[in-house]
Amino acid sequence: MANEVCFRTLHLDEPWTLESYLSVGGYQSLKKILTEKIPADDIIEQLKISALRGRGGAGFPTGLKWSFMPRQTEGQKYIVCNSDEGEPGTCKDRDILRYNPHQLIEGMAIAGYCIGADTGYNYIRGEFWEPYSRFDNALKEAREAGYLGDKLFGTDFNFELHSHLGGGAYVCGEETALLESIEGKKGQPRFKPPFPAGFGLYGKPTTINNTETLASVPVIVEKGGQWFLEHGKPDNGGTKIFAVSGNVKRPGNYEIDMGTPFSELLEMCGGMKDGYKLKAVIPGGSSSPVIPGDQMMDVTMDYDGIQAAGSMLGSGAVIILDDKVCMVNALARLSHFYQEESCGQCTPCREGTGWLSRIMHRIEHGHGKQEDLDLLDKVAGDIMGRTICALGEAASMPVKGFLKHYRDEFQYHIDHKKCMVGAGSK
Amino acid sequence: MPQANNELINAASRVDIDQWVAKYPADQKQSAVMAALRIVQDQNGGWLTTALMDAVADYLDMDKIHVYEVATFYSMYEHKPVGKHKICVCTNISCMVCGSGEIVEHLEDKLDIKMGGTTEDNRFTLKEVECLGACSGAPMIQIGENYYENLDAERIDKILDELK
């Protein structure tokens, strides 16, 4: 079965309306929790059983994250949703916002109840105008119907939720950069500790979760942690949306069980387009190391399965690279991206991403030197572990991955000043 | 340099900005700066002037430098005039493997400008952008508030014709 969690309204006409959401049992989890006064600890326990892990890319256990919040202490706390979807290849949260925005609202209200927050913000990337409009309309519907506001379902629980629009910066997907951005500043990540659970938005305890993570919560509450877990594997619970892009017959978002073999996912996509052969897969967004296609055919789509193959599940963005793709060209494009998006705060990342991009540019254009291959590897290694946030790692890991599996293509570019794939097109 | 002047922000923009200010705690007006910059940029035909940024600083009780920092950090703010239609072309990995190179080439030929340029009649600006999060619809572009996906040269022609 597919589309059982975040996409459970997708089969309906106008799946984004309140009416559609109510017809699949929407807002019943929130109602049950509030009216039956279910303790927050019980909900967090169900999340731990479900093995739900952060769907934005880091894969941190959600129940554990919520348990870090100082619920018992007085004062303002916040729940923040990260809809700043920007990891190249990733386009799943956009469809949650467009097609099932109410489920995210319900998930955020449940999170607010569990962590003791009466206010939430959903940070939506600035380019997502249509998803933002859908989400804001849903907020309006929810307020009018009494699912947001004061004394929800006649209880003492108040919850208000607002959207915040970004302005175009990949780094704002990093949770503390995102908080800075909501505060009206440049999106530069904060040094940690303190972590957001202690010092978050406006200095108040804050939990930040990804869109897909929060939208999964109402269904987990309804059906139980065990139900969700059994859709996946131990420690890799649930369903997951895989955003497939590249030259397959039916690219798109597929919400399927964690642990599904990649070969089955490729089949769901109709296989490769005519005239294209599978060459390699970037399995979890542009930051995750590339895996050769034949190896990928034996990999299952879950955190552990992809890690065993030397990469990461990340955001679940499956980028299909076909036999017409030059790997030097591909890495050069990615390195350019990270240079563009480095916030400039940490020297190893600011300077290192520039080095990577320039070296890749000269190899791609036939000006590479033999020592460039070792230099690339060294610069990537020198960035890793030396920066405040993970953007440095995100820039370095693709370099390591491409060099590991496709060194011959890089060597060919250096030796012959042209591409071995594009038959001398460069 | 022109004086900061609140009058530069028109009445409709003020109403819009005020709605954003209301979302944040009373002592956190600065949180509305990104929205305010977007709103005055739209009011000004798609780009920001120093006078407008100063007006935003004034309106939100911020230091000018903090407004400049935000306005220059995020890629959606423009600091030079742009055409009536800003065409943002994604060339990142998914779009690249699905043919964004041909899309760029076609747009540059058709509009007779290079990436980053504006047509002489000020109708179109071409801008290369990073991943816009519509990868399964690659190749794609954004014009104004709209995404256009699964593109080829023929669809581009149709889209541009409809804009005229």
Which helix (H) or strand (E) element contains residue A180? helix A175-182
Q: How many helices (H) and strands (E) in chain B?
A: 7, 4
DSSP-derived secondary structure for A401-413: HHHHHHHHHHHHH
Strand order in the sheet with A278-282: A252-257, A239-246, A317-322, A278-282, A291-292
- Give yes or no for residue A85 having a pLDDT over 70: yes
| Strand residues in B5-163 grouped as ranges (E) | 85-90, 124-129, 141-143, 146-148
- Give yes or no for residue A63 having a pLDDT over 60: yes
DSSP B138: -
Cα distances (Å, whole numbers) of residue A285 to A53, A242, A316 = 16, 10, 7
Percent of chain A whose predicted confidence (pLDDT) is above 90: 96
Q: Which residue of B has its CA nearest to A242?
A: B136
What does residue A333 show for φ and ψ, rounded to 5 degrees?
-65, -45
How many C-beta atoms surround the C-beta of residue A36 within 10 A? 7
Which residue of B131, B132, B141 to mutate against A (max A Cβ within 10 Å)?
B131
What's the predicted TM-score (pTM) here? 0.96
> Which of A94, A121, A251 is nearest residue B133 as measured by Cβ atoms?
A94
Q: Which residue of A has its CA nearest to B145?
A: A129
pLDDT tens by residue, A14-32: 999 999 999 999 999 999 9
User: Where do we find the tokens 């760029």?
Assistant: B104
Instruction: Rounding to the nearest 10 degrees, give the CA dihedral for residues A399, A404, A406, A410.
Output: 60
- Provide the ipTM: 0.96
Which helix (H) or strand (E) element contains residue A279? strand A278-282
pLDDT at B7: 83
Mean pLDDT calculated for residue range A127-132:
98
- Give yes or no for residue A235 having a pLDDT over 90: no
pLDDT at A115: 97
The minimum CA-CA distance between A223 and chain B, rounded to whole Å, is: 30
For the range A415-422, what are the long-range contacts, defined as Cβ-Cβ under 8 Å and sequence gap of 24 or more? A417/A366, A417/A367, A418/A366, A419/A326, A419/A328, A419/A329, A420/A326, A421/A323, A421/A324, A421/A325, A421/A326, A421/A327, A422/A324, A422/A326, A422/A329
With CB atoms and an 8 Å threshold, state whether B135 touches A91: yes
Q: Could you tell me whether strands A206-210 and A160-165 are parallel, antiparallel, or unpaired per DSSP bridges? A: unpaired
The upper half-sphere exposure of residue A257, i.e. CA atoms within 13 Å in the direction of its Cβ, equals 14
Cβ(A71)–Cβ(A78) below 8 Å: no
Percent of chain A whose predicted confidence (pLDDT) is above 70: 99
With CB atoms and an 8 Å threshold, state whether B133 touches A93: yes
Mean pLDDT calculated for residue range A177-187:
98
What does residue A418 show for φ and ψ, rounded to 5 degrees?
-155, 180
Question: Could you give the 3-state DSSP secondary structure of residue A124?
Answer: strand
| Predicted confidence band of residue A426 (pLDDT cuts 50, 70, 90) | very low
With CB atoms and an 8 Å threshold, state whether A164 touches B23: yes
DSSP B124: E
pLDDT tens by residue, B29-68: 999 999 999 999 999 999 999 999 999 999 999 999 999 9
Mean pLDDT calculated for residue range B155-159:
97
Output the average pLDDT for chain A: 96
User: Where do we find the tokens 């990260």?
Assistant: A82
Residues of B within an 8 Å Cβ radius of A: 23-25, 28, 30-35, 37-38, 60, 62, 66, 69-70, 73-77, 88, 91-94, 96-98, 129-138, 142, 145-147
Cα distances (Å, whole numbers) of residue A306 to A260, A296, A391 = 11, 9, 20
Contacts of residue A418, Cβ cutoff 8 Å, sequence gap at least 6: A366, A412, A424, A425, A426
pLDDT at A421: 85
pLDDT at A237: 87
Mean pLDDT calculated for residue range A367-376:
97
Q: Which residues of B touch A341 (CB under 8 A)?
A: 130
Mean pLDDT calculated for residue range A373-386:
97
With CB atoms and an 8 Å threshold, state whether A187 touches B32: no
With CB atoms and an 8 Å threshold, state whether B97 touches A330: yes
CA gap B135, B150 in Å, rounded: 10
Question: Could you give the 3-state DSSP secondary structure of residue A10?
Answer: coil
> Which of A182, A320, A333 is nearest residue B31 as measured by Cβ atoms?
A182
In the chain, the amino acid numbered A133 is: S
Cα B69 to the chain's mean position, in Å? Answer: 17
CA gap A44, A28 in Å, rounded: 18
Closest CA to A182 of B163, B50, B20: B20
DSSP A55: T
pLDDT tens by residue, B93-136: 999 999 999 999 999 999 999 999 999 999 999 999 999 999 99
Mean pLDDT calculated for residue range A315-331:
97
CA gap B119, B84 in Å, rounded: 10
With CB atoms and an 8 Å threshold, state whether A88 touches B31: no
